[in-house]
Amino acid sequence: MLDPRTFPRPPALQQIKKTILIKFPGPNGQTIASTDRAYWVLETYHPPTYYLPPASIKLNLTSTPRRTFCEWKGVANYFTFNTPSGEAVDSRAWTYNEPTPAFADIKGYVSFYADPRWECYVDGELVEPQPGDFYGGWMTSDIVRKSVKGAPGTRGW
């Protein structure tokens, strides 16, 4: 089991040997991204957040003006894209164009929220989103749930 209480602070960036697949649902679901060259960020009280190489992204991502700041990684830049039905999806994928030196390896890599409009898989396992709508971690069956922040009342941990 992976216990997010024991994950490091400041967070750790690690390249992983897991297969990451993001696709739209259905038998003919369009692939959003697929790679075995992702990184994950492990941070105290968070399930892993996955960053995928830009070449693995099969969608047309368009930059938005939205920016957020992470004290560890720097300024996040967000994207918009369309679902196969034409629905515009705003700010559910992001990148760090100029990450801090400790996170330089994920420069230009893209992370996606787990979202009900698409399916995210780690080594074939369908993930659940981290509770709440602020954090972008992916919950797999090996994550200790009671150690994850994001649900109401946990933001200040």
Residue 99 is assigned to a structural domain of this protein? yes
Domain extent at residue 44: 4-147
Q: What is the pTM assigned to this prediction? A: 0.95
Beta-bridge partner residues of 12: 42
What pLDDT, on the 0 to 100 scale, is given for residue 151?
86
Give the confidence band of 153 by pLDDT, cuts at 50, 70, 90: confident
Residue 155 is assigned to a structural domain of this protein? no
User: CA 109 → CA 31, 67, 98, 136, distances in Å?
Assistant: 17, 16, 11, 14
What pLDDT, on the 0 to 100 scale, is given for residue 86?
94
**Domains: count for the chain:** 1
What pLDDT, on the 0 to 100 scale, is given for residue 10?
96
Residue 40 is assigned to a structural domain of this protein? yes
